[in-house]
Amino acid sequence: QRNTDRKNLSEILKLEPERHLPRLISSNPKSSTWPGDQPGHSLTPRYSSHDAIEICKRILKATHVKRSP
């Protein structure tokens, strides 16, 4: 079951990588469905680069993609 879930996640990310990653900058405050999005905050970062790195690490870990040194 767990390997199947990882394979499915991997396939989804290959097909639609943008769908599963947060938008760091949004031109339309209503375009994102992430919690905490508020009108009037367009064009401002909602997540730091550190947050983006952590998200990428989690995705890589979940999909068992080897990172280059």
Reported as a pLDDT band with limits 50, 70 and 90, residue 1 is very low
Q: pTM of the prediction?
A: 0.28
For the chain, the domain total comes to 1
Give the CA dihedral 42, 47, 48, 52, nearest 10 degrees. -130
What pLDDT does 11 receive? 67
Range of the domain at 43: 4-62
Q: How far is CA 34 from CA 2, 5, 19, 29, 37, in A?
A: 26, 23, 12, 10, 6
C-alpha to C-alpha distance for 55 and 48, rounded to whole angstroms = 11
Higher pLDDT, 57 or 48: 57
Inside any domain, residue 28? yes
36 inside domain = yes
Within-domain flag for 68: no
DSSP state of 36: T
| 4 token code pair | 């199947």
